[in-house]
A and B are shown apart, each in its own frame.
Chain A
Amino acid sequence: MSTTTTSGAVTPGSPILQAKNVTKTFGGAGGKMTAVDDVSVDFHAGKVLAVVGESGSGKSTLARMLLRLLPVTSGQILYQGRDVTNIRGSELRRYWTDVQAVFQDPFASFNQFFTVGQMLRRSIRLAGRSQGESDDALIERCLGYVGLKPDEAMAKFPHQMSGGQRQRVMVARALMMSPKVLLADEATSMLDASLRVNVLNVLQDLRSELDLTVLFITHDIGQACYLADEVVVMEHGVIVEQGATDEVIFNPQNDYTKRLLSDVPDLKGSLKSR
């Protein structure tokens, strides 16, 4: 996918997407609630960054702001060094092509009356995207990335696939836009462990093969540990710890991170304590 790897004014190692002092407040006057409080994160090109936190930590709110699905209360979002906090119209559409998302529920994100092939063709039309490649060739290539057999998968209806396969179709759909950033918001939480690993492996391969930047939002430290290069830990809307995965998970400094880690049910570890 040469179009994704070469373009963009980003030098390796520099942040492709940045949140600068981003704050989100819900409600007014009496019931004011700060979901994300002065958060700054850099997302480096070609890396997987995991945002970890319990429910209510503000990790999904942060994701929605980065996706420009939710306006920020204050702060800035920079994409390739450019301020995209308030872009609109065609500029915003271009941003949405570059920054794609896969959401939590693989059962809610499909129209049950369309086959995978029909759904993906409609997505291309919706994006109004015209490149040299024919629609079907593009679909086949992207289904190939996620380890699905194009001819089989395109003829299938959503109910004929497992959750893991659906979620891989959603990743393929995102990839058709040749994104530079893929945001996965709890994308594997609803899958069985056995299928979850397959989706995580797809994300890992895309990172290395397509140089894709992956933002992986999860409450599961095990998944973050497996996949991420860097980890950000959030609590009540604030980043309490961030750094390289090995540092944060195996040598946590913050009390909250330590508690979170000690609460994780560890298959082999918890047996020992019984």
Chain B
Amino acid sequence: MSSDNILVRATNVNASYATNTGQDVPAVDAVSLEIAEGQILGLAGESGCGKSTLGNALAMIANPPLYVLSGELQIADRTIDLSTLDKGAEARHRAFRGDYVSLLPQGAMNSISPTLRIRDLVVDVVRGQDRSRSRDEALDLARDRLKQLGMPVRVLDQYAHQLSGGMRQRMVTVISTLLNPRLLIADEPTSALDVSSQKALIEMLLQMVEQKVMGAAIFITHDLPVLSMVTDQIAIMYAGRIIETGPTAELVHRARHPYTSALVSAVLDPTEETRHKRVAGIPGSPPNLASPPSGCRFHPRCAFATEICTREVPPLVVEGEHSSACWWAKDHPNEPVPLPDPVSLEGLAS
């Protein structure tokens, strides 16, 4: 990624959940990432790895018990302090939501009011952001955008229950980007959809980036096949940290981190290969973030772990656009992680 057209750069984001035992659970740990203009970054990882928390922190909607301890977000010409610890945070962040960053939260399609038409939601969202716009202006904006994307304008006059799940999800996506945010953060937008609706939404997102509806996007999901269709770059998160980033094809074909490699090999594509092999999942379960493992957080589940992995945090091995935080990668420069051998189920710990 050339550094001159970077649109979004997040630096050292730390976010914790406060618990009633008094111990904070760090869900996002010193994460930095950057996205170039016109690109889509995929953020992947298992449930509980902190990917949605990172999305919320970047979208500046962190509410207690989630606290953003530190972090800086540069978008275009502005730099925003993401921290929510001080009193002025809400007022400071409010100015950036909508125009600079827009979040499409998980399950957004189910949050359309059943008693209002879609057009009422459009007016609410646009006027909530910008009081000076009239109702007609907001609706004109929505009509133009729908035409631009080749979607039926009559949807605006309908109620949520009259739309299919796929259409509802596409509508909330369109509405959340009406104000042309510089960055759209979409959290699991395709997860509740069937494959055909997924495809339609992905095509629409690609079209939106191409038509510069938004400057760049972060696409959060655990679904690697979907990510491979939509993203330019992928960042893999594990236990609150980004452990590998790289161009999508690189990451899928030449994973440099054993966790990425395990995720990729657990994908069941409907191919002859899948049909006739036994795929091994990742043994064990994701760590408890309140007391993460020492050293490399993946070491208890890693087939390549050595003694040093249990003791020391792995270094970031950077090779061009591809970087991986792994001791194995450091010892094996430019070498993709060999695919794990099929493991029998008896070997799996509970």
Residues of chain A touching chain B, judged by Cβ–Cβ distance below 8 Å, are 54-55, 147-149, 152-153, 161-165, 192-198, 200-202, 204-205, 219-226, 245-246, 249-250, 259-261, 263-271, 274
Contacts and interface: CB of A to CB of B under 8 A. Distances in A.
B321 to A, nearest CB: 16
- Closest 3 A-B residue pairs measured CB to CB? A197-B281, A222-B268, A162-B285
Nearest to A156: B350
B348 A197 contact: no
Nearest to A226: B268
A165 B270 contact: no
A225 B195 contact: no
Nearest to A197: B281
A153 B274 CA distance: 31
A198 B274 contact: no
The secondary structure that dominates the A interface is helix
Given A192-B47, A193-B223, A194-B282, A271 B253 contact: yes
Contacts of A197: 266, 268, 279-281
Nearest to B196: A263
Given A149-B349, A222-B268, A266-B225, A271 B281 contact: no
Interface of B: 46-47, 165, 193-196, 198-199, 202, 222-226, 228-229, 248-249, 252-253, 262-264, 266-272, 274-275, 278-282, 285-286, 345-346, 348-350
Contact of A267 (B202, B267, B275, B349): B267
Given A165-B285, A225-B271, A264-B269, 6 more contacts: A245-B275, A260-B196, A263-B195, A267-B224, A268-B269, A270-B228
Contacts of A245: 275
Contacts of A192: 46-47, 222
A125 to B, nearest CB: 24
Most chain-A Cβ atoms within 10 A of its Cβ — which of B202, B264, B280, B282?
B282
10 contacts: A152-B350, A162-B47, A194-B46, A201-B278, A222-B268, A225-B268, A226-B268, A263-B199, A268-B252, A268-B271
A226 B281 contact: no
B184 to A, nearest CB: 20
Nearest to A168: B350
Contact of B285 (A161, A226, A246, A261): A161
Given A162-B286, A222-B274, A249-B270, A265 B281 contact: no
Nearest to B263: A194
